[in-house]
Amino acid sequence: MNVSRRVLLAASAGVAGALGAGSGTAGAAPGHGHGHGGGPGLRTGFERLEADGYRMLSGEKVGVVTNPTGVTRDVRHIVDVMHGDERVDLKAVFGPEHGFRGTAQAGGSEGRYDDPATGLPVYDTYLKSGQALADIFTASGVDT
């Protein structure tokens, strides 16, 4: 599979926005979440994706680029949530510095391994860019 830079960037932007795997507000938009005081609040991109039944990911081999902050409001990691849902064909996880679960030291990563909690392959993306990063996505076999 040959992944063009344009496809790679578009897919990365789409997944990052859809999952909101950052500070909990990345990709957030007005919604019906629980804000302070019990009124309407913001929903993360992941909350919106989940509420829509993962329709955007239907038929896709999915990879998640995330870090330890990619959690739901009840502090479950989005990888664990998606892995436990049969509507998502989750194939791989891509982790930055500290690893996706936060177990590596600062300035380090964990290399390629299988996540003990899910059995999913975890690919090290720390300090990777350009063709090296594209090669990792290609090797993983994900579509999006």
What is the structure's pLDDT at 38?
A: 53
8 Å CB contact between 68 and 19? no
Which segments in the chain show pLDDT lower than 50? 1, 6-33, 35-36
What is the structure's pLDDT at 40?
A: 66
Element (H, E) at 121: strand 121-124
What is the structure's pLDDT at 9?
A: 46
Tokens of 95: 């982790």
What is the structure's pLDDT at 3?
A: 53
What is the structure's pLDDT at 41?
A: 81
Q: Which of 70, 68, 71, 65 shows the shortest CA–CA distance to 129?
A: 65
- Full-model pTM: 0.70
- Sole residue written with tokens 């720390």: 126
User: Over the stretch 56-84, which tens digit does the pLDDT of each residue have?
Assistant: 999 999 999 999 999 999 999 999 999 99
What is the structure's pLDDT at 29?
A: 43
